Chain A
Amino acid sequence: MRYLPLTDSNRADMLAAIGANSVDELFRDLPKSALASAQFDLPNTQSEMEVERALGAMAAKNLNCGQAPSFLGAGNYRHHTPAALDYIIQRGEFLTAYTPYQPEISQGTLQAIYEFQTQVALITGMEVANASMYDGATACSEAVGMACRVTKRNKALISGKVHPHYADVTATSMKFLNVAVERLAPDPFNLEALIGRVGADLACVVVQTPGFFGHLGNYGALAAVCRAAGVLLIVCVTDPVSLGALVPPGRMGADIVVVEGQSLAGPMSFGGPGVGLFATREKYIRQMPGRLVGETTDEDGRRGWVLTLSTREQHIRREKATSNICTNSGLIALAFSVHMTLLGEAGFKRLAKLNHAMATILAEKLEKVPGVCVLPTSFFNEFTVELAIPAADVVERLAKRGVMGGIPVSRFYPTYPEGQDLLLVTATETNTTEDIDTFVGALKEVLS
């Protein structure tokens, strides 16, 4: 077996050194009954070529987004990945390193995380950020848990513009902590009024901009009301590219900002792994979940980095920790950071502008199709369109024409009647005007 270096003669020498007759003897503490009953209906070892062939065939059963014009978003976005990014994260010293608990031989990972924390703080307009969470949805849930610790209250309000998976994950985890979560109905028509709902019983209000249905929100007024009531404002962002063109949540008065970093970190990979960016105000750092890297000096006085404030974490604090998180999303955080470094300020803003440009061009063409209505008046790279017929059928019929033309809202809200005819549509820099024309043409056919 190609991954196992020991030879039979090694094994014999080692058994002799141990003073055992066989490897099985080393397993003598395992129950005999369980050893006897163990049967596995699984194949034996295969060569590299055989595995490539089998998995290649499985992968080929999928229609990948490079094969068909695709306009899919809803929290997971297809952006171009510069070639240098994948090269860098495949370097073995990043890919195959452990968590940097030994700072003397982990300065590469530690400095990269410190740069990541700084980049996240800058784009969200916040003071500090952690080393990452699993994904945007779990980061949202952690943010609500943190708000409960900070405010010592146990009630949360979630806007109907928040990604339903973020709301689901949060509601699921809070149920076990007896935190009451009020989820507002889906809000594709931008009718929701949050300010009147803020009271001193709330730990936090969770909003999202751009919203799940594409609307842009300025939560400055809400933030002021929250602050007066001692309520924390949590702002979610599902495509960080939007932060290159929009008012950052920190400037609106957010207390915690959570972002799904996947869209800048590499392939969509069917939605995972992602990376949760988590930023907050400096005064709350001791209530933050997750790892943090801080600057310090070594015994020779040289600048260096180290994991810090770990008394918040499970390996020190056990049941009193701020979270149970251990392994997070280190390599995807690195990929995010490398892409941000490659882009720089100029590239980041230009990428955002290009996304918005393609989305507005798509919207204008869709608006001219009879029976199609674009709902949000302002949006970034994603918006909801209302059709005259159920969107789920339209999507399947578009797929037969070789176009992945959006995601039906009913996929997320199967029991929400007003959502049946709604379609979420996204355009990014990866779409060409030819893609857009193909989509619009196919949609006209399907609707006529």
Chain B
Amino acid sequence: MTKPTTASGHKGLQLEQELIFEQDTQGTTAVDLPHILEYRERLGEFACEDAIGLPGLSEPEVVRHYTRLSQKNYSIDSGFYPLGSCTMKHNPRLNEKMARLPGFADIHPFQPISTVQGAFELIDTCAHWLTELTGMAAVAMSPAAGAHGELCGLMCIKSAHDAAGSTRSVVLVPDSAHGTNPATAALCGYMVESIPANEEGRVDIEALKQRLSPNIAAVMITNPNTCGLFERECIAIAEAVHAAGAFLYMDGANYNAIVGRLRIGDLGVDAMHINLHKTFSTPHGGGGPGAGPTVLSEALAPFAPVPMVVRGPAGFEAEEHAGFDTGGQSFGRMKGYHGQFGVFVRAVAYMMSMGVDGLKQASGDAVLNANYLLARLSEELTPAFPGPCMHEAVFNDRFLKGTGVTTLDIAKALIDEGFHPPTIYFPLVVHGALLMEPTETESKAVLDQFVESMLHLARKAKAGGAAEEFQAAPQLAPRRRPDETKAARKPVLRWAPPDESSAARQAAE
């Protein structure tokens, strides 16, 4: 039986939705504003009343528009996201409720200091949790996301070298690192060189020692690393890095695997960013906002960016100016206002709810869930490294050899099974990688369903003759695979009225 076609283009609950610009009713608005009092205009020659081109819709149309769009999204609320390295865990609604308290939401960053003591207390509470959990000397709260935190750490490192009159120019980064690491080092003016990994998927410490020289400013490692393995020799690595006069940056993207178990300060780390939207459960929001507070060792703390919350005689105060009461060594400012305050509120609500005992339980369950996937999936898939793993398990594509089915095809077929695909082709050091991070907020029942789907797909691929079906996946999602080449070759990045856009396209051709 062929699939029925519909006149509307809808398919049952999968409802197609035009762009807002295609639903325009000129002059309509969903916001009724109060009467405008008489006034004398003071815009001078700068006034402009020309048409902008924004569409007009009523409130019911707007609500339906976004409701339909939302229904085309996968989300952690609706299903399992085994996305390695991304930590898609449950986002508690209490966090949202607390961030919306008027005392946190409806306050301005430049109110008189005496009127926002509770806000500074919130930032200070978040900072206390982070320094206490990591055993580090200080934390810079303002970085806006993980990559921004990396930048903060490397700026501190560069400033420390500058202060010591050292002109080191190279940062060492493993091949398995997140792309943000080399990109960040470049933004600090450093050249990037790679550190080799050993057969086990860990940093080759002997090779690293040979690369350390007076020209190395810092070594960036991720721990647990992107292969989901803990760098066993991290203390020896830190000692070697320090002996060479360099600093050790630790990418904290995987901090959720060890939180509440050990303090990274005890490992000899000099700086680490903490993705509050990973470890501390604040929502990803389809691509942010996150927050990347960066914990610092005593050696780097003096160079931390402003603003900093400090305790004064009359309560909390904010150091808002570089070199102003900071001993003059702060490297400056990297974000407007007081950082991602609304994200801090959510993270503190989570920390207080979990408690230090709950955080330890969470890292334990996250690692247990990952090892369970590793054990169960090894029945048909090929693990890249022997276990135990930490919070994520990585498989290579050897189990697909000769089947005509690729890692990408498996990922897309998982969509039809109702699961978000794992992270694929990352880390780069694992061929055809499938990186799976279940997190602690998934039940055993969900993991078992996922395992069944994954084993079913692996068996189907290995049985042969299914390559074409895999390549056609997904078939049941709101869209099938998009033409990415077409999108990149002639980018259409905005809507334009039909006559205008066709004319523009003809002109481009």
Contacts and interface: CB of A to CB of B under 8 A. Distances in A.
Is B one of A's binding partners? yes
Contact of B336 (A84, A106, A169): A169
Interface stretch (A198-206, A226-234, A244-252): A244-252
A254 to B, nearest CB: 14
Contacts of A334: 285-286
Interface in A321-374: 321, 323-332, 334, 338, 340-351, 353-354, 356-357, 360-361, 363-364
Contact of B440 (A4, A328, A414): A4
A195 interface: no
Interface in B335-365: 335-343, 345, 348-349, 352-358, 361-362, 364-365
B183 interface: yes
A271 B106 CA distance: 10
Given A297-B483, A407-B110, A106 B44 contact: no
B305 A172 contact: yes
A138 to B, nearest CB: 6
Contact of B121 (A51, A58, A129): A58
B165 interface: no
A357 B57 CA distance: 25
B442 to A, nearest CB: 7
B336 A13 contact: no
Nearest to A404: B111
B367 to A, nearest CB: 5
B267 interface: yes
A407 to B, nearest CB: 4
B74 A4 contact: no
B186 A320 contact: yes
A26 B33 CA distance: 60
Interface in A18-42: 18-20, 23, 25-31, 33-35, 37-38, 40-42
A314 interface: yes
Interface string B95-121: 011111111111111111011111101
Contacts of A94: 66, 70, 73, 75, 285-286
A252 B338 CA distance: 33
Nearest to B337: A271
Given A43-B356, A51-B352, A308-B484, A18 B283 contact: no
A274 B342 CA distance: 10
Contacts of A260: 336
Contacts of B320: 411
Interface string B16-27: 010111000011
B245 interface: no
A254 B482 CA distance: 34
A76 B96 CA distance: 21
Contact of A18 (B88, B342, B372): B372
A309 B490 CA distance: 10
Contact of B111 (A19, A72, A272, A363): A72
Given A51-B98, A268-B106, A309-B491, A103 B333 contact: no
Contacts of B340: 272-273
A285 interface: yes
A326 B96 CA distance: 23
B88 A98 contact: yes
Contacts of B180: 314-315, 324, 326
Nearest to B412: A104
Contacts of A72: 108, 110-111
Interface residues of B, number: 204
Contacts of A146: none
A193 interface: no
B467 to A, nearest CB: 16
Contacts of A54: 352
Interface in B267-292: 267, 275, 277, 281, 283-291
Contacts of B477: 104-105
A78 B108 contact: yes
Nearest to B17: A111
Interface of B is mostly: loop
Interface stretch (B148-156, B207-215, B394-402, B452-460): B148-156
Contact of B147 (A43, A298, A327): A327
B487 A296 contact: yes
Contacts of B293: none
Nearest to B357: A44
A105 to B, nearest CB: 4
> Of A42, A44, A324, A379, which is in contact with the most chain B CB atoms at under 10 Å from its CB?
A324
Contacts of B472: 299
B494 A330 contact: no
Contact of A268 (B107, B266, B412): B107
A52 B103 CA distance: 13
A363 to B, nearest CB: 7
A216 interface: yes
A302 B189 CA distance: 44
Nearest to B258: A30
B410 to A, nearest CB: 13
Contact of A292 (B81, B288, B371, B493): B493
Interface string A184-224: 00000000000000000000000001000000111000000
Interface string A167-180: 01101110111100
13 contacts: A43-B356, A50-B352, A76-B108, A82-B59, A105-B474, A106-B73, A135-B335, A270-B341, A272-B337, A319-B182, A326-B147, A343-B54, A344-B57
A-B pairs, top 7 by smallest CB distance, nearest first, are A271-B337, A59-B103, A331-B285, A92-B77, A330-B287, A61-B118, A271-B109
